[in-house]
Amino acid sequence: MAGRLEGKVAVVNGAGSSGPGWGNGKCTAIQFARDGAKVVVVDVNPAAAEETAGLIRGEGGTALVLEADVTSQADNEAVVAKTLSEFGRLDVLAHIVGISGKLSFLDDVGGSDWDKVMDVNLKSTFLATQAAIQPMIEQKWGRIITVSSIASLRWLARNAPFAYGVSKQAVAMLTKLMAVEFAHLNITCNCIAIGMIDSPMVRGLLGEYAEVVSAIRDKGSPTGKQGTGWDTAHLAAFLASQEANYINGIEIPLDGGYTMKAPDIYPSDPIERGQ
């Protein structure tokens, strides 16, 4: 729906992509621009941010690139200050930054890995939302969209990164607490629990096993396919719009039904079932 973010200014953190292809933040930044928003394209990797901004401008949209490490309070404050000086307002924050950390059992979660995952996933969400909500409070309108993971909702696999699921559950709770606190100012806060998405980050993590594991991830979904960054982008754009005025304080699984699915332990053939 073209124009549903017309006149809005959106900051997208993690709007680059960690490799060739379509990351969740990259797609979201492009979708926001397609819907009419002026987009502040924020990433720790300026080349990745420039690529996204180039795609937005190539379609006739407006993009401002800002290099920032969102684990830094000063960088988050600078992003908000530069957004206000360039565009005069800040309506939407989509904070789509996260790392998975190493695969680990509870007894070998390294202290430094735990701290890094908590910093990049949780602390960055706290700092980015804390900075962005100030102009929203003054405007008495705002949209905050964070991302967790289905790892925040359920056990996923043996040796799945412990710190990751814990950090993402905390991101969701932080979002829900903010939602109640600021609802009276027309500010909504919602969290997308992203499921199996075929993204550059996932492919980079899997390395030589990317094709094999990608097929397993496809099979795990009731739809038979992983999602894409565009699925995240379409939901984020809806949550950012006026249409989502009354949606507040929820963590929405975006997973094709994956979290609902239990392991299929029964034979599918009725004769084998003895019927």
Ligand X SMILES: NC(=O)c1ccc[n+]([C@@H]2O[C@H](COP(=O)([O-])OP(=O)(O)OC[C@H]3O[C@@H](n4cnc5c(N)ncnc54)[C@H](O)[C@@H]3O)[C@@H](O)[C@H]2O)c1
Name the residues that contact ligand X, by CB under 6 A. 13-14, 16-18, 23-25, 43-45, 48, 68-71, 96-98, 120, 124, 147, 149, 194, 196-197, 199-202, 229
CB of residue 37 vs ligand X: minimum separation in angstroms?
19
CB of residue 14 vs ligand X: minimum separation in angstroms?
3
Cβ proximity to ligand X: between 21 and 249 the closer is 21
Residue nearest to ligand X (CB): 98
Q: Which tokens hold the place of 246?
A: 């009354």
Size (the chain), residues:
275
Integer distance in angstroms from the first to the last C-alpha of the chain? 50
Give the SS3 label for residue 130: helix
Cβ proximity to ligand X: between 35 and 43 the closer is 43
CB of residue 119 vs ligand X: minimum separation in angstroms?
8
CB of residue 33 vs ligand X: minimum separation in angstroms?
17
Cβ proximity to ligand X: between 63 and 147 the closer is 147
Known active-site residue 164: yes
Query: What CA–CA distance (Å, rounded) separates 77 from 1?
Result: 32
Q: Within 10 A of 270 (CB to CB), how many other CB atoms are there? A: 8
Cβ atoms of 199 and 15 closer than 8 Å: no
Annotated catalytic residue within 164, 209, 246, 258:
164
Closest CA to 29 of 70, 67, 63, 68: 63
Cβ proximity to ligand X: between 5 and 197 the closer is 197
Cβ proximity to ligand X: between 17 and 31 the closer is 17
CB of residue 202 vs ligand X: minimum separation in angstroms?
5
Strands of the sheet with 251-254, listed across from one edge = 63-67, 38-43, 9-13, 92-95, 142-149, 187-194, 251-254
The set of residues, in sequence order, having a beta carbon less than 8 Å from that of 183 and lying 6+ positions away, is 248, 249
Which residues are catalytic, by number? 164
